[in-house]
Amino acid sequence: MFVGLLYCLYGVVGATLLSGLWRLNLMIKRFSANDLPELKPLTNQDEMASVSVCIPARNESHAMTECLQSVLLSKYPKLEILVLDDQSADKTPSLIKAFAHDGVRFIEGTPSPAGWLGKNHALNQLLGEASGRLVLFMDVDTRIKPDTIGRLVSYMNARQANMISVIPRRDDGPRASVVFAPLRYLWEILFDRHQAPAVSSAVWMLDRHQFEQDFADFSKLRHVIQPEAHIAATYRDDHTYRLLMSSEKLGVSQQKKWRSQIDTSIRLLYPLIGSRLNRSLVVVLDLLVLSLPPLVTIIAGLVGISHQPIFVGVAVYLLGVVLYGYFLKHIWSRGWLIAALLWPAIVLQEAVLVVVSTIQYRRGRVMWKGRPVELPAAAVEAN
């Protein structure tokens, strides 16, 4: 009886992983920036649209200097750099001001009005100060290379896009923040669809004039927990939104701490699921099913119930390693195999994060950089 249940479990997990691997292969080929001919630096000054790099910062003293240094190395000539201090309580303002002689504009953020999420208000203030035709929003934990902006502008021109976003690479070594990174971008890619396209908040670029025609500013999105996702879905309708997975040549990378990644996952997971308790339960059960086979196999072997399923369990485990490793190899420069071997633990961590995100949202306890995050009223009423 026990062996039969194990085989059923392995069958479900194996079929899920095989379908996931097939889907992942299609999506990576679609989003990969490795071989795109459009991703080349522009040489014709007439093709170079002015770009405003807009960076919202709140308590970012650990990463602010390195971020601005990477942006200032950009070779793109038509560039302005705006950094908004969103009422930081650390040394972030002084670090930003230290780059004033390099042309970095310091913007002192104002308190968020009622009904506004803090980050959305920061984005709105940056948009109001930007003068470039293209606006590049960028997280402080993100790094770019000298040719990155030129390549992105070239791609925007070639694809006639109104918005692009870039999933960053990890170029640092196999530290805990890398190996135990949540699965946010894997889910974005696997579940990309027309109504909810995959999107990255690390780096995303807008045609400012088109955005202002369609949205005016961020007022309509003031309470949306991931405004870039809503914008991407709008432009997906007319095929003017594009997602890229960064390559070494494109040069978008991220150095986000594990704690910060966990906080981001808690803030995003429940809304991404649809802010429904029943959906959270289904997702948690699915994740547990994906992570349990290796554990069940080990227990069955240790207690001597049956050694027969061990070979099947190992095969399913290796299939999971292939799927997760295939994804990681495309976004990590090194250390991806270590994390791939630990995929059951990573999936189990994701299940815990879904539970925590669900509980905290339903109790109104989600915080982001010291400020509360609340679901839109429509989502709360639906619950």
Whether residues 184 and 41 fall in one domain? yes
Would 383 be classed as within a structural domain? Answer: no
Assigned token pair, 193 = 């669809």
Whether residues 236 and 112 fall in one domain? yes
Would 382 be classed as within a structural domain? Answer: no
Would 116 be classed as within a structural domain? Answer: yes
Would 202 be classed as within a structural domain? Answer: yes
Would 207 be classed as within a structural domain? Answer: yes
Whether residues 251 and 278 fall in one domain? no
Would 262 be classed as within a structural domain? Answer: no
Highest mean predicted confidence (pLDDT) among 92-96, 246-250, 296-300: 92-96
The Cα-based distances of 346 to 49, 159, 353 in angstroms read 42, 36, 11
Whether residues 141 and 240 fall in one domain? yes
Assigned token pair, 266 = 């808690």
Is a pLDDT exceeding 90 seen at residue 336? no
pLDDT digits 0-9 by tens, 189-214: 999 988 889 999 999 999 999 999 99
User: What local confidence, expressed as pLDDT, does residue 38 receive?
Assistant: 83
Length of the chain: 383
For residue 142, give the DSSP letter: E
pLDDT digits 0-9 by tens, 78-88: 999 999 999 99
Nearest to residue 175, comparing CAs of 67, 252, 257, 66?
Answer: 257
Angle between helices 343-362 and 277-303 (to 10 degrees): 150
Euclidean distance between CA atoms 30 and 233, whole angstroms: 17
Whether residues 349 and 365 fall in one domain? yes
Would 115 be classed as within a structural domain? Answer: yes
Domain of 114 in residue numbering reads as: 32-256
303 class by beta-carbon count within 10 Å (0-12 exposed, 13-18 middle, 19+ buried): exposed
Q: Which residues contact 341 (CB under 8 A, 6 or more apart)?
A: 321
Whether residues 203 and 347 fall in one domain? no
Whether residues 9 and 54 fall in one domain? no
Would 56 be classed as within a structural domain? Answer: yes
In our burial notation (b when 16+ CB lie closer than 10 A, e otherwise), range 120-157 reads bbbbbbbbeebebbbbbbbbbbbbbbebbbbbbbbbbe
Euclidean distance between CA atoms 78 and 69, whole angstroms: 17
Is-contact 135 52, C-beta < 8 A?
Answer: yes
Question: What are the E-state strand segments in 102-186?
Answer: 104-108, 134-138, 142-143, 163-167
Domain boundary among 256, 284, 317: 256
Whether residues 290 and 245 fall in one domain? no
State the pLDDT confidence band at 380, using cuts at 50, 70 and 90. Answer: very low
Mean pLDDT of all residues in 180-188: 92
Domain boundary among 256, 278, 307: 256
Q: Which residues contact 240 (CB under 8 A, 6 or more apart)?
A: 160, 161, 162, 163, 210
Whether residues 251 and 304 fall in one domain? no
Whether residues 51 and 178 fall in one domain? yes
Longest dimension (CA), the chain: 73
Euclidean distance between CA atoms 179 and 336, whole angstroms: 8
Is a pLDDT exceeding 90 seen at residue 139? yes
Could you tell me the CATH number of the domain that includes residue 109? 3.90.550.10
User: What local confidence, expressed as pLDDT, does residue 234 receive?
Assistant: 95
Whether residues 315 and 192 fall in one domain? no
Beta-ladder partners of 203: 138, 166
pTM comes to 0.91
Domain boundary among 256, 286, 321: 256
pLDDT digits 0-9 by tens, 35-53: 788 888 777 777 789 999 9
How many structural domains are present in the chain? 2
pLDDT digits 0-9 by tens, 226-248: 999 999 999 998 899 999 999 98
Is-contact 170 178, C-beta < 8 A?
Answer: yes
Whether residues 164 and 242 fall in one domain? yes
